[in-house]
Amino acid sequence: SPSDPDLVARARAAKEKLGDKVFVLGHHYQRDEVIQFADVTGDSFKLARDAAARPEAEYIVFCGVHFMAESADILTTDDQKVVLPDLAAGCSMADMATAEQVAECWDVLADAGITDVTVPVSYMNSSADIKAFTGKHGGTICTSSNAKRALDWAFEQGEKVLFLPDQHLGRNTAVREMGMSLEDCVVYNPHKPNGGLTAEQLRAAKMILWRGHCSVHGRFSLESVEDVRARIPGVNVLVHPECKHEVVAAADHVGSTEYIIKTLEAAPAGSKWAIGTELNLVRRVANAHPDKEVVFLDRTVCFCSTMNRIDLPHLVWALESLAEGKLVNRIQVDRETESFAKLALERMLALP
């Protein structure tokens, strides 16, 4: 939607009034009307790092989803306040792994006698509780830009990985980047007794993948790749690693949102690209490169509905409230959870 000039002026004025007291982070899936006010934009990894690098900002306004704001709160000082302009901006994938379910899974692994050799690796897209579980059990967080390095690290610590909660990122990284086979991976279904797996299956597996997925990236199919190749000869297919294995296997390039942007910046004029990720980002990339042909991998419109909840009216409300000295929509992780989650996040930040 085009930016309302009145709201644009109000956001600008509130931000000016706040000055250095506020730092606005914008994930690449945010709307244009919001992204124009971001002091920095990035993928999940870059935003976590940048949030931690702003100790002078009293307020961190996070234009993204809940788990990102939680991670920013964990990585910033106790005096800093992280604000999420709409509290309903969650992530359906993060919601697919609850603390209770994961604790139950760990019991199942203990019954199979494998907890001593299993290292949890949790995708950034998870709640602070899951990150705390990960830290407590000697594991690390990863994002789509460092999943291979996180898995390399984990396999130096143990023999198996419990990968939470995105089965696709886990499988794609293991098979595409680490030479494992599909048979090395099993899927733990939290809705089935014992995850739907036998102790023998758990003992034989190298990767125990949680049965979670992203509803946005789940829309892309092998058929969408075949269709676009037939429609646009010479097209380069570039997808996010949250897509299904068969989609990633059929693509030419795979990477995080930041990688997608950088790849298009480096691409020669006249080149053709079909991109499999959230639509705000694909549109922005297409607009930034009128000299290249950039299309959405699937013809059905696909925004991330929770990312899109952060719109200009919500951002204006948050900024104006802060400018008036009213703290709204603070995301605060409790201390106990924070200390263990921080361990896991710091392991990620220390990855080579």
Enumerate helices (H) and strands (E) in the chain, giving the number of each: 16, 13
Minimal distance in Å, beta carbon 117 to ligand SF4?
29
Paired tokens of 91 = 């992530």
CB atoms inside a 10 Å sphere around CB 327: 12
Question: Is 44 flagged in the annotation as binding?
Answer: yes
Site for ligand 13P in 212-251 (CB under 6 A): 214, 242
Paired tokens of 245 = 């294995």
Q: How far apart are CA 102 and CA 37, in angstroms?
A: 37
Paired tokens of 61 = 């306004």
For the chain, the farthest-separated pair of C-alpha atoms sits apart, in whole angstroms, at 63
Is 65 one of the binding residues for ligand SF4 (CB under 6 A)? yes
Alpha helices (H) along the chain: 5-18, 32-35, 44-52, 66-75, 99-111, 128-136, 147-157, 167-172, 178, 199-204, 222-231, 245-250, 257-266, 279-288, 312-323, 335-349
CA atoms within 13 A on the CB side of 184: 18
How many residues bind ligand SF4 (CB under 6 A)? The answer is 13
Question: Is 63 flagged in the annotation as binding?
Answer: no
Q: Is the dihedral of CA 161, 164, 168, 172 positive or negative?
A: negative
Which residues contact residue 350 at a Cβ distance below 8 angstroms, ignoring those fewer than 6 apart? none
With CB under 6 A as the contact rule, which of the stretches 13-21, 113-121, 142-150, 335-343 interacts with ligand 13P? 142-150
Of the candidates 86, 278, 298, 320, which one interacts with ligand SF4 according to CB under 6 A?
Answer: 278
With CB under 6 A as the contact rule, which of the stretches 99-107, 108-116, 140-148, 334-342 interacts with ligand 13P? 140-148
Of 278 and 320, the one with the shorter C-beta distance to ligand 13P is: 278
| Centroid of chain to Cα 339 | 21
Site for ligand SF4 in 199-258 (CB under 6 A): 214-216, 242
With CB under 6 A as the contact rule, which of the stretches 90-98, 134-142, 151-159, 199-207 interacts with ligand SF4? 90-98
Contact between 146 and 348 (Cβ < 8 Å): yes
Could you tell me how many residues make up the chain? 352
Is 143 one of the binding residues for ligand 13P (CB under 6 A)? yes
Q: How far apart are CA 182 and CA 333, in angstroms?
A: 37
Minimal distance in Å, beta carbon 42 to ligand 13P?
7
Minimal distance in Å, beta carbon 187 to ligand 13P?
20
Q: 305 by DSSP, 3-state: which?
A: coil
Site for ligand 13P in 81-100 (CB under 6 A): 91
Contact code string over 2-41 relative to ligand SF4, x by CB under 6 A: ----------------------------------------
Please, is 172 exposed, middle or buried when counting C-beta atoms within 10 Å of its C-beta (0-12, 13-18, 19+)?
buried
Q: Which does 112 bind (CB under 5 to 8 A by kind): ligand SF4, ligand 13P, none?
A: none
Is 140 one of the binding residues for ligand 13P (CB under 6 A)? no
Minimal distance in Å, beta carbon 90 to ligand 13P?
11
How many residues bind ligand 13P (CB under 6 A)? The answer is 13
Q: Which does 143 bind (CB under 5 to 8 A by kind): ligand SF4, ligand 13P, none?
A: ligand 13P
Of 202 and 281, the one with the shorter C-beta distance to ligand 13P is: 281
Q: How far apart are CA 167 and CA 209, in angstroms?
A: 5
Of the candidates 72, 304, 312, 322, which one interacts with ligand SF4 according to CB under 6 A?
Answer: 304
Q: Which does 306 bind (CB under 5 to 8 A by kind): ligand SF4, ligand 13P, none?
A: ligand SF4
- Detail the residues annotated as belonging to a binding site: 27, 44, 91, 123-125, 144, 214, 240-242, 257, 304
- Interface residues toward ligand SF4, by CB under 6 A: 65, 91-93, 125, 214-216, 242, 278, 304, 306-307
- Interface residues toward ligand 13P, by CB under 6 A: 28, 43-45, 91, 125, 143-145, 214, 242, 256-257
